[in-house]
Amino acid sequence: MEKKAFSLMEVIVATSILSISVFWVYKMIWENNKIINNSNNYLNKTLLFPIIETCIEKSWITSWVNYIYLWNDLKLCDTQATEISNNIDNINYTLIASLRTNLPSSKIWDISIEDDFSWTSSWIYVQKQ
């Protein structure tokens, strides 16, 4: 007797293999998108440090702890004594500049950036006078 069609068992096995392989492809794409998104968030956060340093250089900061607000173009900034968040790419960042040491020749700043999606990033900045 000649077979003219696939058996039910062959169809079930082939469908199972195909389903598992499609699932893993979608899972790899999802993981890759998550890595790219986290990388972009980290890059944006890292690129904020030079902007904060420029803000410190151009502003006359008088208090020891300052919350920095960046305007939409990221070229202008204000400093405040109360917490304020900056919304960049739909992520709220809190930018904090704390004066660690005020020496006659320099000021040492602790800069930190907080957001809801990752750890707080910190940076030390030495401002020459």
What are 26-63's pLDDT values in tens digits? 999 999 999 998 898 889 889 999 988 888 888 767 67
Tokens 């702890």 sit at which residue? 65
pTM of the model: 0.70
Task: Specify burial of residue 73 (Cβ count, 10 A radius: 0-12, 13-18, 19+).
Answer: exposed
Res. 126: pLDDT tops 80: yes
Confidence label for 18 from pLDDT (cuts 50, 70 and 90)? very high
User: Which residue has 């890759």 as its token pair?
Assistant: 32
Tens digits of per-residue pLDDT, 70-104? 887 777 888 887 888 888 888 889 999 888 888 88
